[in-house]
Amino acid sequence: MEDMVNVFLQGKKYVVPASLTIMGAMEYAGYQLVRGCGCRSGFCGACATIYRIKGDRELKVCLACQTKVEDEMYVATLPFFPLVKERYDMEEIRPTDQIMMRLYPEIYSCIGCNSCTKGCPQELDVMQYIACAQRGEYAECAEKSFDCVMCGICSSRCPAGISHPQVALLARRLTGKYLAPEAAHLKSRVAGIENGDFTGLVESLTQKPIEEVKELYNHRDIEE
Amino acid sequence: MFTPEMRASVKNVEATRESRMGAELRRMTAEEKEALLGQYHPDYKKDSFETLRVGPNKGDKAPAELVALLQGSSRIFREDVDLTRIDYDVDVLVIGGGGAGASAAIEADENGANVLVATKLRLGDANTMMAEGGIQCADKANDSPAIHYLDALGGGHYANKPELLKRLVLEGPGAVKWLNELGVMFDKEADGTMITTHGGGTSRKRMHAAADYSGAEIMRVLRDEVLNRDITVVDFTAAVELILDVDGRAAGAVLANMETGEYLVARAKTVIIATGGAGRLHYQGFPTSNHYGATADGLVLGYRAGARLLYADTLQYHPTGVAYPAQIFGALVTEKVRSLGAMLVNADGEAFMHPLETRDVSAASIIRECSTNGKGVATPEGSGVWLDTPMIELLHGAGAIEKRIPGMMRMYAKYDIDIRRWPILVYPTLHYQNGGLEIDANGRTPVENLFVAGEAVGGIHGRNRLMGNSLLDIIVFGRGAGKYASRQSKGIRTGELTLEHIHRFEKERRDAGVEDAVSSPLLLPTYTHRKA
């Protein structure tokens, strides 16, 4: 007999196998998911979930696809959270101190409660990356926020109304575009291709008889 | 953590680790690979394929599950959809909100078109988000697009459509540059040199990555760019049929709100299908690494409207899906783990193959090890072989796993498995649809004004795709389709809208004697009450 546990999905009790994830338990119970389900692998942030174990004062957060059910678990899903997303033109903005002040000024209202960090299912130091953004340290903000899946749990808990994932995304784009060193070899290769330097070589391959191509492939040298 | 039997087997892996560290394993010959594939690769299991009896590919083989949907019954066959009541009227309709769809939307917008993106889940809910390992492009001094071409052609069993592959490799560096300029954070050395590694079947290190969040990083940047441009995105709204005009040209789609069931009419001068793959059809009962929405919808829509399929009978089983623990069964373990040096090892601790053979060969080899050779490790779901992750830090130093594959480390840590200390159990998982709708180099199908981009396309990768060529193709062909669809939309005067082709298809189906047709496209898989 399978080991079973009691879970309360949106407040209603179901008995489900203890081996299931929360997402698996919802499906086992009969929910045909439309919202709150995405990659099912912990990368997309669609299944942000809040839960409490009966008798426990602490409210916990997780991704439903990545977390096993527990006995007496009360589950509420957060299939959507209204983050603030500002529009900007990447060609116009620069990684200046002023850009955050202009687009996301609420980050300067952070009261340091650290609820965002406590809420992060990816265990990121959310408050710290916001502090980096405040100081204009976008590369650090990018690094610290890199594994963000943009589930929005942090923002749901923020008394200052900060949309942390959007702030971090802006910092990462600024970093990738302006702060990271330029790949000179990439730029010159693209110029070479545009100049037609490689077209002939590729075209000659498309023209060769298949047996000759097979020979080339089977005897090509492989970089160590 | 592991069962006692697994722990005992781990001892074997640990016992041989040191002797394996310096060893360069032999690669298989062309003949060995062919024999292995024929006997063990799922594509060669004849009884799981059926012959199409209806439509442009009548007489061709495809997986039974896909055939059922392609020959299925339209969801709106009996609905009274009023095509004169137009809800959206645009130049370019993009169906699908993954990497290809987003790239197409951005380029169509850049070229002055009025764009609508319709997606059945959210923008960015796609296989792109889950691509971990990286994106190929030949941008290093020792590499060239011609070498990239040869690698992909050999890996694809020489079946790749030359005009498509040529475009892929020649536009590869431009695609990566475009992403970089949008702000994608590629892994770089301090001087800006891209950090690149091998993938299975590559002869040069041309795998560019953003840790093991490569696809997620690309997707969230593309999504942000779509939103910055104020492109109209309608989410939780699936396309359930294409609409043609009286001249037989693509002219829009009937959309369905996934939550309310309401039907909406989108009229468009050009249409781009960018609906992705089909892993959630679970061919041959395999688990999948794919997104929840990967149900081949675009193939069904395009097929009914007259577009042809190419290589619908070839699927990619990623050699390293999670075999244990059960909660993440079938999830992807990125090929980058092997790029970084981890070997595939059987229950006795033997490295049974070179870790960087192409995916089809690697998958077949693991299946052989677990079946005929009897050297798999038993798991609750079946069996698996070891992927010796602790080798990575022995090769690259402490901290390498956290820096290069943090996603993998986190995924396993949730089940109390520290992949720095313990090897992990893997088995092939349904990963990619090599085949799909046939296009020309500009993304066009034989149906006028209908374009396809991304995983829904067949032919770019032949009969087996190399790692890192899919993230590349969604960008190259997504952008291409966006550009051409936008250009072509100028000057088009769409005729009266019609769904006549659906009725024609329905009649053809009945005439062919195809009974008990399922409703299609599928839209979402059903997992309720343990139905898989």
What's the CATH code of the domain at A69? Answer: 3.10.20.740
Answer whether residue B199 is part of any domain: yes
The answer to whether position A197 is within a domain reads yes
Q: Which of A35, A39, A205 sits opposite B291 (nearest CB)?
A: A39
Which 3-state string (H, E, C) describes B284-340?
HHCCECCCCCCCCHHHHHHHHHCCCEECCCCEEEEEEEECCCHHHCCCECCCHHHHC
> Which candidate from A34, A67, A206 shows the least CB-CB separation from B524?
A34
Assess if residue B62 is contained within a domain. Answer: no
High-pLDDT (> 90) share of chain B, %: 95
Q: Give the whole-angstrom CA distance, residue B296 versus residue B96.
A: 11
B202 and B105 in a common domain = yes
A221 shares contact with chain B (CB less than 8 Å): yes
Distance, in Å, from the CA atom of B238 to the CA atom of B252, rounded to the nearest integer, reads 13
Instruction: Pick the closest to residue B358 from B71, B528, B158, B97 (CA basis).
Output: B158
Tell whether B507 is covered by a domain.
no
Summarize pLDDT for A44-103 with one digit per residue, the tens: 999 999 999 999 999 999 999 999 999 999 999 998 999 999 999 999 999 999 999 999
Q: Is B129 within 8 Å of A67 when comparing Cβ atoms?
A: no
pLDDT of residue B531: 56
* Domain contains A29: yes
Between chains, do A183 and B528 touch, taking CB under 8 Å as contact?
no
Instruction: For chain A, give the percent of residues with pLDDT over 70.
Output: 100
Q: pLDDT at residue B197 above 60? A: yes
Residue B516: per-residue pLDDT: 80
Percent of chain A's residues with pLDDT above 90: 95
- The answer to whether the Cβ–Cβ distance between A182 and B192 falls below 8 Å is yes
Answer yes or no: do B414 and B472 share one domain. no
Residue A86 placed within a domain: no
The answer to whether the Cβ–Cβ distance between B224 and A169 falls below 8 Å is yes
B165 vs B414, which has greater pLDDT? B165
Q: How many CB atoms lie under 10 A from the CB of residue B200?
A: 23
Q: What mean pLDDT value characterizes chain B?
A: 96
Residue A21: give the domain boundaries. Answer: 4-77
C-alpha triplet B154, B479, B310: angle, nearest 5°: 45
The answer to whether residue A73 sits within a structural domain is: yes
Please tell me the distance from the alpha carbon of residue B168 to that of residue B473, in angstroms, as a whole number: 6
Do A29 and A66 fall within a single domain?
yes
Q: Do A41 and B130 touch (CB under 8 A)?
A: yes
Separation between Cα atoms, residue A36 and residue A47, nearest integer Å: 4
Residue of B nearest to A87 (CA): B228
Distance (Å, whole) CA B257 – CA B84? 19
Answer yes or no: do B330 and B453 share one domain: no
Q: DSSP letter at B460?
A: S
Percentage of chain B modeled with pLDDT above 70: 100
Of B137, B191, B224, the CB nearest to A173: B224
B256 exposed, middle or buried (CB, 10 Å; 0-12, 13-18, 19+)?
buried
User: Does residue B56 have a cis peptide bond before it, meaning omega lies within 30 degrees of 0?
Assistant: no
pLDDT tens-place string over residues B25-66: 999 999 999 999 999 999 999 999 999 999 999 999 999 999
For the cut 80, the answer to whether the pLDDT of residue B501 exceeds it is: yes
Q: What token pair was written down for A141?
A: 């903000």
CATH number of the domain residue B359 falls in: 3.90.700.10
Q: Is B208 one of the catalytic residues?
A: no
Residues A38 and A9 in one domain: yes
Mean pLDDT of B453-462: 98
**Chain A residue with minimum CA distance to B380:** A19
Residues 6+ apart with CB under 8 A from B284: B42, B45, B48, B63
- Of B148, B198, B338, B479, the active-site residue reads B338
Cβ atoms B72, B520 nearer than 8 A: yes
- Tell me: do B327 and B467 sit in the same domain: no
Cα–Cα distance, B70 to B313 (Å, whole number):
13
Same domain, A122 and A144: yes
Exposed, middle or buried: residue B227 (CB in 10 Å: 0-12, 13-18, 19+)? middle
HSE-CB for B490 with a 13 A CA cutoff: 10
| CATH code where residue B217 lies | 3.50.50.60
Q: Return d(Cα B347, Cα B193) in angstroms, integer.
A: 40
Does the residue B375 lie in any domain? yes
What are B453's two structure tokens? 């981009």
* B526·A122 Cβ contact <8 A: no
Residues B131 and B244 reside in one and the same domain = yes
Q: Are B475 and B16 in contact (CB under 8 A)?
A: no
Cβ contacts (< 8 Å) between B144 and chain A: which residues?
A: 198, 201
Q: ipTM for the complex? A: 0.97
Asked if the structure places residue B510 within a domain, the reply is: no
Read off the pLDDT of residues A24-56 as tens digits, 9 standing for 90 and up.
999 999 999 999 999 998 889 999 999 999 999
Determine the Cα–Cα distance for residues B447 and B488; give it in Å rounded to an integer: 13
Q: What element of type H or E holds A16?
A: strand A12-17
Closest CB to B144 among A88, A174, A198: A198
Please give the Cα distance from B168 to B175 (Å, whole number): 9
Place of tokens 């096993």: A68
Distance between terminal CA atoms of chain B? 26
Neighbours of B203 (CB within 10 A): 18
Measure A128 CA to nearest chain B CA, in Å: 19
pLDDT for residue B515? 86
Domain that holds residue B10: 4-40+316-430
Residues of B in contact with A43 (CB under 8 A): 129-130, 213, 215-216, 407
- Kindly state whether residue B54 falls inside one of the protein's structural domains: no
Shared domain check, B421 and B457: no
A168 and A123 part of one domain: yes
Whether B452 contacts B441, CB under 8 Å: no
Q: Do B391 and B290 share a domain, yes or no?
A: no
The whole-number pLDDT of residue B454 equals 98
Mean pLDDT of B401-425: 94
- First CA to last CA distance, chain A: 53
* Beta strand pairing call for B450-452 and B457-458: unpaired
Which of B139, B227, B332 lies nearest to residue A186, judging by beta carbons? B139
Q: Is residue A1 over pLDDT 70? A: no
**Entry field: residues in chain B:** 532
CA distance B410 to B221: 22
Whether B532 has a pLDDT exceeding 70, the answer reads no
CA A189 from centre of chain: 31
- pLDDT tens readout for residues B72-103: 999 998 888 999 999 999 999 999 999 999 99
Tell me, yes or no, whether A84 lies in a domain.
no
Verify that B126 and B235 share a domain, yes or no. yes
Say if residue A11 is in the same domain as residue A35.
Answer: yes
pLDDT band at A224 (very low <50, low <70, confident <90, very high): confident
Residue B453: its pLDDT value, please?
98
Asked if B130 lies within 8 A of A181 by C-beta distance, the reply is: no
Instruction: List the single best residue of A34, A39, A219 to mutate versus B (max B Cβ within 10 A).
Output: A39
Is B185 in Cβ contact with A142 (below 8 Å)? Answer: yes
| Helical residues (DSSP H) of B95-187, grouped into ranges | 99-110, 127-130, 145-155, 162-170, 172-182
CB atoms closer than 10 angstroms to residue A40: 28
Residue B263 lies in a domain: yes
Q: Is B338 annotated in the active site? A: yes
Report how far residue B26's alpha carbon sits from residue B21's, in angstroms, rounded to the nearest whole number.
14
Residue A209 covered by a domain: yes
The answer to whether residue A89 neighbours chain B at the CB level (below 8 Å) is yes
Q: Does A20 touch chain B (CB under 8 A)?
A: yes
Minimum distance, in Å, between the CA of residue B168 and any CA atom of chain A: 11
Amino acid residing at B423:
P
CB proximity A163 to B under 8 Å: no
The secondary structure of chain A in percent helix, strand, coil, rounded to multiples of 5, reads: 40, 15, 45
Tell whether B128 and B84 lie within a shared domain: yes
Contact call for residues B157 and B462 (beta carbons, < 8 A): yes
> Which of A77, A108, A125 is a domain's end point?
A77
* Per-residue confidence band for A218, with pLDDT thresholds at 50, 70 and 90: very high
User: Do A21 and B327 make contact, defined as CB atoms within 8 angstroms?
Assistant: yes
Q: Is A8 on the interface with B (CB under 8 A)?
A: no
The alpha carbon of residue B133 is apart from the nearest alpha carbon of chain A, in Å, by 13
User: Which structure tokens are listed for B297?
Assistant: 């919808």
**In chain A, how many domains are there?**
3
Overall number of domains in chain B: 2
B228–A33: do the CB atoms touch at under 8 Å? no
Q: How high is the pLDDT of residue A104?
A: 98
**Are the C-beta atoms of A216 and A224 separated by less than 8 Å?**
no
Residues B176 and B290 in one domain: yes
Same domain? For A103 and A43 the reply is no
Contact A66 B213 (CB under 8 A): no
Residues 91-120 of A with CB under 8 A from B: none
User: Which among A40, A67, A167 is the top mutation candidate for probing chain B, defined by the most B β-carbons within 10 Å of its own β-carbon?
Assistant: A40
- Considering CB atoms only, which of A34, A44, A88 is closest to B259? A34
Claim: this prediction has a pTM higher than 0.90: yes
**In a 10 Å sphere around its CB, with 0-12 CB exposed, 13-18 middle and 19+ buried, how is residue A100 labelled?**
buried
